[in-house]
Amino acid sequence: MLARRRREYFWLMGGCLVLFVSAWGFVRLWSVPAAVAMCVVAMVIPPVAAMVANRRGPDDRWWDDPSGDPKSDEWWDELDGKKKH
């Protein structure tokens, strides 16, 4: 799951860089409004890429799921205030 999310993140961020560099590298020579539009699209991609990279998959362990190690789970429960000693 992590490898898939990482790959998607890098594809999105690579596309963002391609849009930005090409917009001001050569598209602006033909059309400045098109270059600005490409930059606006490139501006939206990084937050989307961050959401893609940080979303939880169905098989991913979440921060408050039990780990299976009773001693570790007891320690975390004590830290979180779930168990009173």
- Given a cut of 50, the residues of the chain with pLDDT beneath it are none
Distance CA 82, CA 73 (A): 11
Distance CA 70, CA 81 (A): 16
Whether 67 is in a domain gets the answer: no
Predicted pLDDT at 39 = 96
Predicted pLDDT at 38 = 96
Whether 80 is in a domain gets the answer: no
Predicted pLDDT at 14 = 96
**Domain interval for residue 45:** 2-57
User: Taking the model in full, what pTM does it have?
Assistant: 0.66
H/E element, 57: none
Distance CA 66, CA 60 (A): 12
Predicted pLDDT at 10 = 95
Whether 79 is in a domain gets the answer: no
Predicted pLDDT at 73 = 80
Whether 69 is in a domain gets the answer: no
DSSP 8-state secondary structure symbol assigned to residue 72? H
How many structural domains are present in the chain? 1
Between the alpha carbon of residue 28 and those of residues 7, 36, 37, 38, the distances in Å are 30, 8, 11, 10
